[in-house]
Amino acid sequence: MAGILIKGLEMPKEGSITITIRHDGAINFIGDMGSNLGRLVDCKAVALPEHGRLGDLDALGNKMANKMGKRKNTWHPFYYEGFKEALKMLDSAPTIVEVTE
């Protein structure tokens, strides 16, 4: 099992919190550990699929495109086309975790 991602919830700055996740991923209430205080939240837990190493493919693609632009005129066309093909593969790679804002 790969794990879960809780969308819309940040790590506590201090202490701890207790959450309840329903079978449909809904999280409606968060309580502070050891007290009766709590608050309603609008968060959702989603199951992550099995995956390999996660990285920022957008940042990698931008770095590669920047390098391509700087060296376009000095590379043999074979290498330049290979880089272009690699960028297409990055663009079509499956998204495991969506972009955060």
The closest alpha carbon to 44, from 57, 27, 29, belongs to 27
Q: Is the dihedral of CA 17, 23, 25, 26 positive or negative?
A: negative
Section 75-81 average pLDDT: 78
Average the pLDDT over each of 37-41, 72-76, 77-81 and give the range with the smallest value: 37-41
The upper half-sphere exposure of residue 40, i.e. CA atoms within 13 Å in the direction of its Cβ, equals 0
Considering the chain, what percentage of its residues have pLDDT values greater than 90? 4
What's the pLDDT tens digit per position in 79-94?
778 888 988 999 898 8
Task: Indicate the pTM of the whole model.
Answer: 0.61
Give the whole-angstrom CA distance, residue 5 versus residue 10. 11
Whether the pLDDT of residue 3 is over 60: the answer is yes
Section 65-76 average pLDDT: 76
* Exposure b/e, 7-20, CB count within 10 A at least 16 = b: eebeeeeeeeeeee
Where would I find the H helices in the chain?
Answer: 57-71, 77-92
Whether the pLDDT of residue 46 is over 80: the answer is yes
- What is the per-residue pLDDT for 1? 59
